[in-house]
């Protein structure tokens, strides 16, 4: 029997406790030993839980228990999860987590601490919820040079955009529905402003390239400015709008990494990933494109990945897994202003024809888009050539200086 402890009995944590109970026999068959959930740390009381005798409010009880070899952290957030995780690892206890914020911010340090103490720090559930992606990336695809990773990494924003695209619902109503259905995080800002997707692309990039990529260094845009007008114009161009987290290895050896809404051609596999589902494309130099699809959030899908990591830790109590990246002060990220992209722009001006002509002068090669019932003051187009993002920003400024309002500017994803 291997004793484990769980820290945090929220949505994911309660799912972990549930799977460890309901799938006890299945897990026993895989491990050859029973996993015994000995402690559950939470400040709240759960008198009706069938495991009510296991709850504690005191972390010291877990750290002092020599029988506990694996600690599952599903608390979320940085504090106190960071301190607790460090103490467990220093004590030689392996830690499993779904906490993408912590991994994205302190992953290199915690992995190094795990290595020093001959323990494991595993976090499959931190990206893509129930979708196996980290293990395939660092094990099954290890023979590849990963050229690019691009994905829909946030279920809440994908749900909102799907409602906007398929049901003509505006952003505010779709967000409200996502909150009512319990999809949005406690603070919807992390989802709708792209921070959650940013943490996930940082974890993927760190793992693929072996160097810690910090979220603060990654250009991140959310979906709060996307309108139904943009959705209509995107459709006219044969695209849907998706929030994409993307990391591409450039010939310079630097990474072009970002999170931003993009027009995705309807022919792309990522265009057909809807509702709260996530989809991640990994382009390997040997494999070509490999796409992972499934539920990126939710109690049992995420708990499934946490339990799988727990089993893995239990199987490797005396051996380390080769999941690792290092901290580095060296710059790994290319200047975002150099990032090449085609762009969709929607302009508002008292003289729309003049605005279009001005845009054509600046960008030279553009294609105008039409939508039904567009006001006379509106004009939308896409550029036919890729331009450095910095040049696009300069062009936007020039248009605005001529009294033309740039109502929307959305990249066209080469996906």
The site for ligand HSE (CB under 6 A) is made up of: 129, 154-156, 183, 185, 191, 196, 296-297
Beta strands in 298-413 (DSSP E): 340-348, 366-369, 378-383, 387-388, 405-412
Relative to beta strand 277-284, strand 2-7 is unpaired
Q: Of 134 and 399, which CB lies nearer to ligand HSE in the complex structure?
A: 134
Closest CA to 292 of 212, 209, 204: 204
What HEC string does 272-286 produce? HCCCCEEEEEEEECC
Q: Which residues of 372-394 are buried (b: 16+ CB within 10 A; e: fewer)?
A: eebeeebbbbbbeeebebeebee
Instruction: Tell me how far, at minimum, the Cβ of 73 lies from ligand HSE, in Å.
Output: 15
Instruction: Tell me how far, at minimum, the Cβ of 18 lies from ligand HSE, in Å.
Output: 18
Distance CA 41, CA 19 (A): 17
Q: Of 129 and 194, which CB lies nearer to ligand HSE in the complex structure?
A: 129
Instruction: Tell me how far, at minimum, the Cβ of 221 lies from ligand HSE, in Å.
Output: 17
Q: Of 296 and 413, which CB lies nearer to ligand HSE in the complex structure?
A: 296
Token pair 């390997």 is at which residue? 284
- Tell me the torsion sign for CA atoms 379, 385, 389, 395: negative
One of 38, 93, 200, 248 is an active-site residue; which one? 200
Q: Is 405 a catalytic residue?
A: no
Instruction: Tell me how far, at minimum, the Cβ of 196 lies from ligand HSE, in Å.
Output: 5
Mark out the alpha helices in 364-411 (DSSP H runs).
389-401
Instruction: Tell me how far, at minimum, the Cβ of 295 lies from ligand HSE, in Å.
Output: 9
Q: Of 157 and 341, which CB lies nearer to ligand HSE in the complex structure?
A: 157
Q: Of 8 and 129, which CB lies nearer to ligand HSE in the complex structure?
A: 129
What HEC string does 100-149 produce? HHHHHHHHHHHHHHHHHCCCCEECHHHCCCCCCCHHHHHHHCCCCCEEEE
Closest CA to 69 of 97, 41, 42, 88: 88
Catalytic residues: 200
């Amino acid at each position: 029997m291997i004793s484990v402890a769980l820290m945090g009995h929220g949505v994911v944590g309660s799912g972990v406790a549930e799977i460890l109970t309901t799938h006890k026999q299945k897990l026993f068959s895989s491990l050859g030993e029973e996993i015994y959930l000995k402690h559950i740390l939470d400040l709240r009381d759960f008198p009706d839980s069938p495991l009510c005798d296991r709850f504690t409010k005191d972390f010291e009880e877990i750290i002092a228990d020599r029988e506990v070899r694996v600690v599952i952290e599903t608390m979320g957030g940085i504090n106190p999860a960071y301190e607790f995780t460090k103490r467990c690892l220093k004590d030689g206890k392996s830690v499993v987590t779904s906490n993408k914020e912590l991994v994205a911010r302190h992953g290199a340090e915690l992995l190094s601490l795990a290595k020093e103490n001959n323990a494991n720090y595993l976090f499959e559930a931190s990206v893509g919820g129930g979708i196996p992606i980290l293990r395939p990336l660092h094990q099954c695809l290890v023979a590849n040079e990963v050229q690019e990773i691009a994905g829909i990494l946030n279920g809440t924003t994908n749900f909102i955009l799907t409602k906007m695209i398929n049901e003509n619902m505006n952003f505010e109503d779709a967000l409200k529905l996502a909150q009512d259905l319990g999809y949005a995080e406690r603070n919807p800002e992390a989802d709708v402003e792209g921070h959650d997707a940013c943490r996930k692309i940082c974890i993927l990039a760190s793992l693929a390239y072996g160097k810690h990529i910090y979220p603060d260094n990654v250009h991140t845009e959310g979906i709060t400015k996307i309108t139904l007008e943009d959705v209509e114009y995107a459709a006219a161009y044969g695209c849907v709008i998706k929030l994409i987290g993307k990391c591409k290895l450039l010939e310079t050896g630097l990474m072009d990494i970002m999170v931003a809404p993009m027009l995705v051609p309807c022919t792309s596999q990522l265009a057909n990933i809807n509702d709260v589902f996530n989809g991640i494309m990994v382009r390997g130099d040997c494999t070509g494109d490999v796409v992972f699809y499934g539920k990126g959030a939710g109690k049992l899908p995420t708990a499934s990945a946490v339990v799988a990591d727990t089993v893995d830790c239990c199987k490797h109590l005396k051996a380390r897994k080769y999941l690792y990246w290092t901290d580095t002060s060296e710059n790994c990220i290319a200047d975002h202003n150099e990032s090449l992209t085609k762009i969709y722009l929607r302009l508002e001006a008292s003289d729309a024809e003049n605005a279009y002509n001005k845009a054509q002068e600046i960008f030279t090669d553009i294609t105008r888009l039409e939508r039904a019932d567009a006001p006379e003051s509106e004009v939308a187009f896409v550029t036919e050539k890729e331009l450095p993002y910095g040049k696009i920003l300069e062009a936007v400024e020039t248009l605005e200086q001529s009294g033309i309002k740039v109502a929307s500017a959305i990249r066209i994803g080469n996906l």
